[in-house]
Structure 1
């Protein structure tokens, strides 16, 4: 109750000054209102145009960025396809080369086997039995670990003699 205002203010007498809306009907007031309205209209129009231009600019930059991104993705996809094709091509070429080499080796082995069969199956061991001595070591071909050195001979370290 203490903080409550005193209520309505006391009644003030009417003054001889202008009454609300009385000057609006004069020709000077109307032209002034028209000018103010025109200024407000122009400001609103320029603001709306600026916002529209800004939206169009933002949209065009966004579309440009998206177009660049799509082009970049398209180029990456094409490069990926090219790399995959090259990898598959190289793999196939290496497999064909390996197969060709294997086939050549098999033909060579088959040819050698046929020649061996035609030669009468004379193995190296069979050929060695025909000769008395091996020409490399001058030993008998039947030698199995035998030496040319007598068992009674001894090597004296530091000399070139064997006693």
Structure 2
């Protein structure tokens, strides 16, 4: 696999970000993680907004501080993103967990999901999160195999969201 790294939003280019978003939109899929979705503001403002979320500034009621990272290659192309929530709410304990991540549609099945999760776990440890909860839908074998490949142990207490079984995994 080519050399990749996780970087904070201030280290990506607007052009690379727009390309990343365009590919998601072209695919018709929901952008994962949702935290990497564009909002109605300029790129620099959005980067500042992500920085504020990390510091817990101006969070909506019930939200927790979180860090957004982008997985980039040597050409600085964004391959995916990871969203690390610094602590869990009751809802995040059931659906969402500490880390949400996604690989852009046309870069899948190349090992990037396993790599983005591995690097995200290192970032979580830097934040003092030593027991990481990650969830995924039961009908997403690519996701749960990625979690298991990174040491995820399935919690016997699965969750259910609108009739969809949510697998819960712990990585210690």
Q: TM-score, normalised by structure 2?
A: 0.13
Q: TM-score, normalised by structure 1?
A: 0.13
Q: Which has the higher helix share?
A: 1
Question: Whose Rg is larger?
Answer: 1
Q: Which has the higher contact order (CA 8 A, sep 6+)?
A: 2
Q: Which has the higher strand share?
A: 2
